[in-house]
Every structure is written in structure tokens, then in C-alpha cells.
Amino acid sequence: MDYFLYLIIFLIGIYFGSFFTLAVYRIPKKENITYKHSYCPNCNHKLGMLDLVPVFSYLFLGAKCRYCKKKIRPRYFLLEILSGMVFVLFAISLKINWTSLQTSQLINLSLGFLYFASLFIIAGIDKEKRMICKSVLAYNLFVCLLYMIYSCIMNAYHVYAYVIYLLIIILLLVLDNYVLKKKLTASYVLEILILLVSMVTISKEYATIFTIMLTLLAIGIYLLLKKVKNSNPKMIVQKKKQEGLPIAFFLCVNNIIVISVSNFICNFNLV
């Protein structure tokens, strides 16, 4: 019976993943992500119902647009599969099952999905554009606020810590707004700090520390591989604009990993 539950969660996850791909493409372009009908970015043809089934449409259409026959980037397929897997693993890490399903578990599961949604979108946009969209960051902070309210209801002793986190977030938002008005551009560093505080709020201090450590390791490996690739004499070196590090991408991905692993460790007594 639990397999059927996890199948449902997987289907929810891949539909979330389909939305993530849409959001990552449209939000930087300031396009509507709720009312505007899905379309092919190459031929602009509106997509039908059979074109919008996550994972399966990609496979059945042979990774091509039904109308212009242009190849669909595999990242769409991979993100849908990955989000489905992450949702299932997160549910398993919370020990979700039909026989002992509790309201608190459903709330934690729902808040986790909403939080992961913000991380997936932030990571996707940062990987493509090297930026954190304020609208997605605002959504992330809204989910954090919901979590804080729920957590304070369940455990009153968290109130003082959350007050401190809120004050830090407000201070960082004020500084970010000041920099935006002063330089007419958002501060990537301040937005990273706001993201880190939101991570502390939901995944707690120890998980955030592990997230930072994994991020530093991932960045080190990324830079090493990039250096090896650029030093290959067989490659044609082209001059192009220097790209910044997608720090938010690494933070979000590693935070999802750390949260899921720590849940497994705590709930299944693996230590």
C-alpha cells in the first residue's frame, strides 16, 4: 500500500518539476507563470494536453517538439525525474506511510515540498542566469514564515530564535534595497546571505553548516574541473564574458541533500 502512496508522491513531484522548468524559463523574462499558456520556445506554438504530461511526453515525442520538430533540451526531462525522486525520498525520510499517517507529518511534508520548490527554482535560475530573482526569494521567505508560525505553535521555545532570524532577514532586506537604489542593481552577496538565513530557519544550524561545507567542496571541484577543461590544448579557446560562480545553485542543491539525509539519520536511527 505504501508503494501506491509513494507513486502518488512521485507523480506530484514530476508535475512540480514540470512547473519548475516553466518557472526557471519565464521568471527571468518577467513572463506570467500561471495564466499564460505553455508554448514551444522555438516555434511559439501553444502546447496541447498530450505535450504537457511530465516525463512521458518527452519520451513519447522522442525529445522533440510535436510542431517544429526541434530537439527538447534534456534538462527538462532530468529536472522532472529528479524532482519526483527528491519528493519521494523526502517522504520516505519522514517515514510517511498509510498506516500511521499523522497531521503533523502531512504539514511537514507539505512545507517541505513548498520549500524545495523555492530551492529548485532559485537553483535553476542561478545556474542559467547567475542571479537570484527577488520574487522567488520572497516566496522562499514566505514559506519560511509559514514554517516559523507552525513551529512556534508546536514548540514555543523556538520563538526567540525565530525573532532573531526575522530581525536579521529584515536588516538584510533593508541593506539590499539600499544597494539596489544606490547602484541600480541587486547585491548577489546580500541575497545569498538572506537565502542562508532562510536555510537556518528551516533546516536548522547544523544542517546549514553542512550545506555550506558541501557547497565549498562542490565549488572547489567545479573550479578544478573548469581549470582542467580550459587547460586542454586541443580545445579552441574563445573569448567570452567571465561568468560568476552559481553559488546559490550549489547551496540549494546541497541543502536539499542535507535535509533529506539528516531526516533519514534522525528518523531511522542510523547513528
Q: Please write down the HEC assignment for all residues of 170-193.
A: HHHHHHHHHHHHHHCCCCHHHHHH
Q: What is the pLDDT along the chain (271 residues), one digit of tens a residue?
A: 578 889 999 999 999 999 999 999 899 988 888 777 788 888 888 888 877 888 888 888 888 888 888 888 888 889 999 999 999 999 998 888 877 778 888 999 999 999 999 999 999 999 988 899 999 999 999 999 999 999 888 876 678 889 999 999 999 999 988 888 887 677 899 999 999 999 999 988 999 999 999 999 999 999 998 888 777 665 544 444 446 789 999 999 999 999 989 988 887 765 5
Over the stretch 60-75, which tens digit does the pLDDT of each residue have?
Answer: 888 888 888 888 888 8
Distance CA 201, CA 195 (A): 10
The cell numbers describing 209, all together, are 553548516
Residue 71's DSSP bridge partners are 64
Q: Residue 6, CB half-sphere, CA atoms under 13 Å: how many?
A: 15
Over the stretch 220-252, which tens digit does the pLDDT of each residue have?
Answer: 999 998 888 777 665 544 444 446 789 999 999
**Can you give the residue ranges of every domain in the chain?**
1-101, 112-225+246-271
Whole-prediction pTM value?
0.90
CB atoms within 10 A of CB 259: 25
Are the beta carbons of 57 and 228 closer than 8 angstroms?
A: no
DSSP class of residue 64? B
Distance CA 247, CA 204 (A): 20
